[in-house]
């Protein structure tokens, strides 16, 4: 029994020869089927079909998204943990029924804001606990893909950090706390609504639906480009029916931090 976690970047054009080769050696792809996520399932289906591999779509268990019960970081963590546990059960059933080598096609790279590695880790633990030592363990490996921050940087032709300085990768949910803690160069994912109040003089490099036909890019001083970002976001959503965006946000350069 083997599971391969394959990063597929932002679409078929980013599937590396290494990932393509691994995918062709798999018996099937397991893909979550979300009511609001058909675009991503369709992208996975296209990649699997291009390499002659069947997709087993598994209805994704519902996640608690009620703001009143997931407001704190701890509550959010519990909601995500419960969701992962339900996913583990759903995928374990497919693996038991089908056996062989299964692939998970991860959007972007598996190392960034993606639960597949954690879910498969739990699957492997559950597998070992439930099967006799005489059985083979569930083995898994991970192959990388191009992530949204990498594509954002390439499209804007920028380096994500100043010379020799760090970049802080975070979520919109944590943005204010991270800025309050002193972060001045942040790559923001899982964006939700864009609220850049009070950051007028910061610089932003923003991108939506990167790597797709509905890609949108905007960059500049926050106060100057906020409205343009709102318009571009709406355009991307109209064109594709969904929108995912990512941005780099950088505080005004001080003498010490330039260039
Ligand atoms: C669940 S995370 C997955 C990230 C992915 N594993 C990666 O390596 O980029 C989804 C977030 O990634 C970013 N993202 C993913 N695809 C994107 C795209 N095509 N264009 C812009 N941002 C994208 C958005 O911030 C989105 O909310």
- Over residues 85-143, the pLDDT tens digits come to 888 889 999 998 999 999 999 999 999 999 999 999 999 988 877 766 556 678 999 99
Omega of the bond leading into 259 within 30 degrees of 0 (cis): yes
DSSP annotation of 53: -
The torsion angles phi and psi of 3, rounded to 5 degrees, stand at -125, 135
Per-residue pLDDT of 57-66, as tens digits, reads 998 887 766 7
Q: Is the pLDDT of residue 41 over 60?
A: yes
Q: According to the model, what pLDDT value does residue 127 have?
A: 80
Sort 73 into a burial class: Cβ within 10 Å, 0-12 / 13-18 / 19+. exposed
Cα–Cα distance for residue pair 230/170, rounded to 1 Å: 21
State the average pLDDT for the chain.
90
Which among 11, 3, 2 is positioned nearest to 145, based on CA atoms? 11
3-class SS of residue 105: strand
Pairing of strands 245-250, 203-208: antiparallel
Give the position, in ligand 1's atom list, of the atom nearest the Cα of 145: 8
Q: Are 30 and 103 in contact (CB under 8 A)?
A: yes
| Cα–ligand 1 centroid distance for 45 (angstroms) | 18
- Residue 146's pLDDT band, with cuts at 50, 70 and 90, is very high
Q: According to the model, what pLDDT value does residue 135 have?
A: 60
| Cα–ligand 1 centroid distance for 189 (angstroms) | 7
Q: According to the model, what pLDDT value does residue 73 have?
A: 75
| Cα–ligand 1 centroid distance for 252 (angstroms) | 26
Location of each CATH 3.40.1010.10 domain in the chain: 2-143
3-class SS of residue 5: strand
Q: Whose CA is nearest to atom 5 of ligand 1?
A: 108
Q: Are 30 and 98 in contact (CB under 8 A)?
A: no
- Residue 248's pLDDT band, with cuts at 50, 70 and 90, is very high
Pocket of ligand 1 (CB under 6 A): 10, 107-109, 112-114, 147-148, 189-191, 207-211, 244-246
- CB-side neighbour CA atoms (13 Å) of 87: 25
| Cα–ligand 1 centroid distance for 254 (angstroms) | 30
| Cα–ligand 1 centroid distance for 116 (angstroms) | 14
CATH number assigned to the domain with residue range 148-250, chosen from the 4 options 3.30.950.10, 3.30.160.20, 3.30.300.130, 3.30.830.10: 3.30.950.10
The two tokens of residue 108 are 């972007």
Location of each CATH 3.30.950.10 domain in the chain: 148-250
Strand residue runs (E) in 98-167: 101-106, 139-143
Cα–Cα distance for residue pair 146/117, rounded to 1 Å: 16
- Residue 163's pLDDT band, with cuts at 50, 70 and 90, is very high
Cα–Cα distance for residue pair 181/172, rounded to 1 Å: 15
Q: Is the pLDDT of residue 37 over 70?
A: no
Cα–Cα distance for residue pair 152/158, rounded to 1 Å: 8
Q: Which CATH architecture has domain 2-143?
A: 3-Layer(aba) Sandwich (3.40)
Which among 148, 146, 129, 147 is positioned nearest to 137, based on CA atoms? 129
Pocket test residue of 6, 111, 148, 247 for ligand 1, highest count of atoms within 8 A of CB: 148
Pocket test residue of 37, 42, 142, 189 for ligand 1, highest count of atoms within 8 A of CB: 189
Per-residue pLDDT of 18-28, as tens digits, reads 999 999 999 99
Q: According to the model, what pLDDT value does residue 253 have?
A: 77
- Buried-state track 247-257, b at ≥16 Cβ within 10 A, e below 16: bbbbbeeeeee
Higher pLDDT, 204 or 42: 204
The two tokens of residue 121 are 């880790």
Pairing of strands 101-106, 2-7: parallel
Share above pLDDT 70 across residues of the chain, in percent, rounded to a whole number: 93
């Amino acid at each position: 029994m083997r599971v391969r976690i394959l990063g597929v970047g932002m679409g078929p054009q980013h599937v590396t020869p290494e990932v393509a080769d691994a995918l062709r050696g798999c018996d099937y792809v397991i893909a979550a089927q979300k009511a609001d996520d058909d675009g991503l399932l369709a992208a996975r289906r296209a990649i699997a079909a291009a390499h002659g591999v069947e997709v087993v779509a598994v209805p994704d268990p519902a996640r608690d998204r009620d703001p009143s019960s997931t407001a704190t970081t701890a509550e959010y963590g519990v909601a995500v943990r419960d969701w992962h546990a339900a996913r583990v059960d759903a995928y374990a059933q497919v693996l038991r029924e089908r056996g062989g080598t299964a692939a998970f096609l991860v959007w972007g790279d598996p190392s960034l804001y993606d639960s597949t590695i954690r879910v498969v880790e739990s699957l492997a633990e559950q597998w070992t606990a439930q099967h006799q030592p005489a059985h083979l363990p569930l083995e898994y490996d991970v192959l990388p893909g191009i992530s949204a921050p990498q594509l954002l940087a390439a499209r804007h032709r920028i380096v994500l950090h100043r010379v020799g300085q760090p970049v802080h990768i975070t979520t919109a949910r944590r943005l204010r706390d991270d800025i309050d803690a002193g972060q001045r160069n942040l790559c923001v994912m899982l964006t939700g609504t864009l609220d850049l109040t009070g950051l007028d003089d910061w610089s932003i490099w923003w991108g939506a639906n990167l790597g797709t036909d509905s890609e949108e890019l905007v960059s500049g001083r926050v106060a100057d480009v906020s409205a343009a970002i709102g318009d571009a976001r709406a355009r991307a959503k109209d064109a594709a029916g969904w929108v995912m965006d990512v941005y780099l946000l950088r505080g005004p350069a001080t003498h010490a931090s330039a260039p």
